[in-house]
Structure 1
Amino acid sequence: MTRRSNLLVIHNPASGAKNERRFAKAVNLLVSQGCSLDIKKTTGPGHAEELAHFAGKQPDAPEAVIVAGGDGTLAEVAQGLRGSDLPMGVIPLGTANVFAQEIGVANNYRKVAEVIQKGRQVQIYPGYADGRRFLLMIGCGYDSHAVAALNPLEKKKWGAAAYLFAALRVRRQFKNFQVQLDHDGKIHTGASIIVSRAKHYGGPFNAFPKADLEQRAFEILIMNNAGFWAATKYGLGLLLGSIESFGADRMTVTGSLRLTSDFPSNFQMDGDGFEKKVVEIELDTLPLQILKP
């Protein structure tokens, strides 16, 4: 089996001192196993995309682009690699690390190093929304408004619990939620809707058991009921793996979709928030190569 050793590592250093130690452990392990690492640190939003875009255009192109960061940094690199045959791997350093959970490496750095060097190169088709790739999900409703209200300092200190604090700050808005999903001319309405390519959500939660990155389909979760107590029940359902029993519907669809929300208009895509009223969604026409066990 061919062993990859010439690697570009795009590292987001904004994840804090704890993750710096985790990053150092992963790097030391790879170097001790004979890898040559070109480590590029990002300096702000959009820089990871730029570094990935130029990675395959250099005379001495690497064998793979490794993302040392969270799901947002991964989404940037995936966008930068659009049209490239370079495979993308991950050293998970984020809060939830949903993509790492998805491909089965999580925080096991021996497994991470093995996959980077000897893992399968698999072709997937990311989601594509208004000109940007997403690897995991796009949604509007409870989760997107929590993302919009998120305090970065709380996220660094408390990790995933910071999303709960953010949701509590905007809980009064929950009663006004109404999101529409248009698929093949049929309209579905809910208080919160998530369109996913991945099984996992928020880290370890298997919220979309039928999802498969290697299949060309979206899994959709529609939370029908609005309000703070409804949101609380959906959170409990997510923890228990029985969200349908609290008034949620599921769909598996192919083709293009449209998400619409007149009020409020916060969306989240792979954990990063943005404001819009209408988002057009489809599968990307260009594949992305990823490294999996």
Structure 2
Amino acid sequence: MSVVESVRVPVPDGELYAEVAGSGPPLVMLHAGLLGAGMWDEQLELASDHTVIRYDARSQGRSSTGMVDYRPEEDLRELLDFFAVGSACLLGNSMGGATASAFALRYPERVHRMVLSGPGIPPVEFRDPFLLARHREQAEAIEAKDADRYVEAFLRFGVDGPHRRPDEVDPEIRARCREMALATVAKHHAAAGKMLERDVRAQLEKITAPTLLVVGELELSDLHRIAGEAARRMPNAELVEIAGYGHMVNMENPRLFNELTSRHLLG
């Protein structure tokens, strides 16, 4: 595996923790909410063909806590400028997919290709009863100041999904996600700044970068719906469903995920 170098990237009113590995065309990895760059450990093998840049988003992981409102796609622009990257491929999961799609809409000339896994396309309308119930559990956990319960609710929708029990998921993957999420909650629970959303959904036809949309078969119905709409409306998008897996398909089946990603990015 390539040597990984850690860097602190300044952004307005804060800084981002980033890691760089490999050489070749730049590939930026954007993680799911509550997690961090570590969710892409299995994708570091892509550094054999790319300069991989993965980072913790503002108010997540090892980056600084957002105390003023911010736009995550502008943080991504700051990151690319810091590394003197004109355009890059983007690999995003969930929240990271939302940031990638907003960036591709705002700065189309700076996006070469994208892979969006279980992406949120803002503004996201949640309808899935399973997810809404977990959100209620999280609200109760916040009221009770119960970080473990808050994170467990996240693991239920963000890792297990509505079609599996916790004991049907690889315990190591669950433990890794739990550790990252608990670290984010512990460090950033006092964040005062809001992540501002761009209305990407209304303008999907304007996102022209070749895009591979990946959805696990056991994913939330909301994310199946969002990915399906994006595949229909984005002019250069393709949708692939991976049987037997949920939201963290990149961690659960890295061999297939990396093969699909590499083929698309190098295509």
Q: Give the TM-score category using the shorter length.
A: 0.3 to 0.5
Q: Which has the larger share of helix? A: 2
TM-score (norm. length: structure 1): 0.34
Which has the larger strand fraction? 1
Normalising by structure 2, we get a TM-score of: 0.37
